[in-house]
Structure 1
Amino acid sequence: MFGIGDFARLGLVSVRMLRHYDAIGLLRPAHVDPVSGYRSYQAEQLSRLNRIVAIKDLGFTLEQVRTILDEKVSTEELHGMVRLRRAQLEAQISADLARLRSVEARLRTIETEGHMRTAEVVLKRVDPVRVAQLSARAASYESQDIGPVIGPLFVELCRRVEAAAVRVTGPGIAYYLPEDDGSVMVHACLPAAVTPGGHDFEVLDLPAIETAATIIHHGSMEAAGPTFQTLAHWIEENGFRYRDLAREISLHCPDDRDEWVTELQIEVVPAA
């Protein structure tokens, strides 16, 4: 038998926590001295304590912990719960980091107001191009919604194009089209020497852009806000208006996203 202090040290919990578990009937002492009220525990109770702490740390309430323990969850089931919770936490961390990067990018956009690089904008014609394409839906145009969609799309498209032994003829292209419900259809494309039919990807011809306002963005696309807004200012200041066709051309995509080089293209027409 172990006193409550020794049992707490062995179980890596606090005495206060053990007293609380006793009070709510989650982990009763093996023996309570009727005179002194001194609590004693047995080593075999560490097994229940381990399960209580593990399940509670997965985000369950103590009442839910009690229900789970009463159902006699096996070690294998507990491992499954841990794996599921781990995946949930990793997804939450990823979403929080994406949100943080989005806030930082927005702050950089604010900092660059009044210092737009409009001299770097080039007006040109963009030729039509045949592409292999995969598409998926994103919740919005926000980077934390677009990023988790466009990245895996390109990975999967590259895999399928390589498996089909199709020759890629140019850098990757991304474009986005709004849906009626406010979501965005994300399109990942690879210029390719390919004929339609018989593929597990779409084959289509992206039309020419007769007049495109273009600019080179250096860095991750999560930080592209200032560059897009530079284009917006240039379009307005030079007597053009935006049309509904915009593309991102991945000119250089190393592992370090801060080293990415992307050409942003927006179709424009005279405002008058």
Structure 2
Amino acid sequence: MFTIGEFARLGRVSVRMLRHYDGIGLLPPAAVDPFTGYRYYRADQLRRLNRVIALKELGLTLEQVRAVVDDAVDVGELRGMLRLRRAELAARVAADTARLAGIEARLRMIETEGRMTTEDVVLKEIAPVRVAELTAVAAGYDAPDISPVIQPLYPELFRRLANAHVPPAGPTIARYEPTGDGDAVVVHAGVTVAVDPSAARDVAVVDLPAVPAAATVVHHGSMDEVDRSMQVLARWIEENGYRADGYAREVYLDYCPDEPEKGVTELQIAVSRR
């Protein structure tokens, strides 16, 4: 048999961890010297130790680990536990990936701050437009909050329009409005259509009114990096004595869901004189 130190080295764990597992009855030693209290382990106990460590690394609690290694959980239950853990990890990876993209976009925006120009901003009137749209609520107006909410809306919108035999008549348009509940915003994912709004469909058909004056700029690239173009608009609005009225409307001139870095989007912010 092996001393606790030897067994810890063989199992690549700490002596402290083995003592803890013994204390909670998860992995008691094979023998304990009645005079010295020294713990001794058999080589075949490494199999149980390895299973414990593997299950812990999957994110199971020690109680769940105990049930599995003691065969108190059948294969179906174990499969369900692991699938749940897989879904949790996938959601965390997706959230971290979106957060990382946001950080990188912020860094690029900071790096280009000194070279940004307002020369490409155009003040113009926006004509009224009819759109078919779906809506959802995002936790905030930041790109990491908006992107995962708006992206699934467009495939579903196009699917419903195809089923209703309603073809798009112009570009896709995204717009936003406050919910009155903290930072949350209502996300409207729409596309220009030329249909009777009273016809029964499973999408909303809305007439967006004309905007007498809007500061506009064309953004090239992913919407995850839209902040740099928004900064251009903000500077132009401030320098020219205007104030922004509401959130920016996004008109996707070249919608590239599979290659967002190739997208072309016109940002439109309604403005009025101070």
In the superposition, the TM-score normalised over structure 2's length comes to 0.84
CA distance 1:14–1:75, shift in 2 (3 Å): farther
Answering whether residue 270 of structure 2 is matched by residue 267 of structure 1, we say yes
Partner residue in 1 for 2:208 = 206
- Between the aligned partners of 2:39 and 2:94, the Cα distance in structure 1 is 48
- Between the aligned partners of 1:114 and 1:8, the Cα distance in structure 2 is 56
- Between the aligned partners of 1:15 and 1:94, the Cα distance in structure 2 is 31
CA RMSD in angstroms, aligned pairs only: 3.0
Deviates further, 256-265 or 34-43: 34-43
Partner residue in 1 for 2:231 = 229
CA contact (8 A) 2:134 2:190 kept: yes
- Between the aligned partners of 2:165 and 2:273, the Cα distance in structure 1 is 43
CA contact (8 A) 1:102 1:143 kept: yes
Partner residue in 2 for 1:195 = 196
Partner residue in 1 for 2:113 = 113
Letter in 2 for 1:192: V
CA contact (8 A) 1:253 1:260 kept: yes
The CA deviation at 1:228 is 0.5
Partner residue in 2 for 1:179 = 179
* Residue of 254, 260, 269 corresponding to 1:257: 260
CA contact (8 A) 2:251 2:267 kept: yes
1:6-59 Cα offsets, whole Å, 9 max, x none, are 9997xxx43647844445421345x4486996422548x84x556533431232
Q: Identity of aligned pairs, percent?
A: 51
CA contact (8 A) 2:221 2:264 kept: yes
Letter in 1 for 2:236: W
1:83-98 equivalent positions in 2, closer than 5 A: 83-98=83-98
SS at match of 1:73: coil
SS at match of 1:113: helix
1:226-247 Cα offsets, whole Å, 9 max, x none, are 1001011111212322112521
The CA deviation at 1:60 is 3.3
- Between the aligned partners of 1:123 and 1:3, the Cα distance in structure 2 is 80
Partner residue in 2 for 1:145 = 145
CA distance 1:49–1:194, shift in 2 (3 Å): farther
SS at match of 1:96: helix
SS at match of 1:118: coil
Letter in 1 for 2:104: E
Partner residue in 1 for 2:222 = 220
> Which sections of structure 1, spanning at least 5 residues, go unmatched?
none
Deviates further, 213-222 or 73-82: 73-82
SS at match of 2:116: coil
CA contact (8 A) 1:3 1:40 kept: no
- Between the aligned partners of 1:269 and 1:120, the Cα distance in structure 2 is 19
CA contact (8 A) 1:3 1:39 kept: yes
- Between the aligned partners of 2:185 and 2:164, the Cα distance in structure 1 is 28
Report the count of equivalent residues. Answer: 265
CA contact (8 A) 1:170 1:191 kept: yes
CA distance 1:193–1:158, shift in 2 (3 Å): same
- Between the aligned partners of 2:259 and 2:202, the Cα distance in structure 1 is 30
Letter in 2 for 1:59: G
Partner residue in 2 for 1:81 = 81
CA contact (8 A) 2:131 2:207 kept: yes
The CA deviation at 1:73 is 1.4
Letter in 1 for 2:108: R
> Which sections of structure 2, spanning at least 5 residues, go unmatched?
none
SS at match of 1:167: coil
CA distance 1:157–1:24, shift in 2 (3 Å): same
- Between the aligned partners of 1:238 and 1:61, the Cα distance in structure 2 is 60
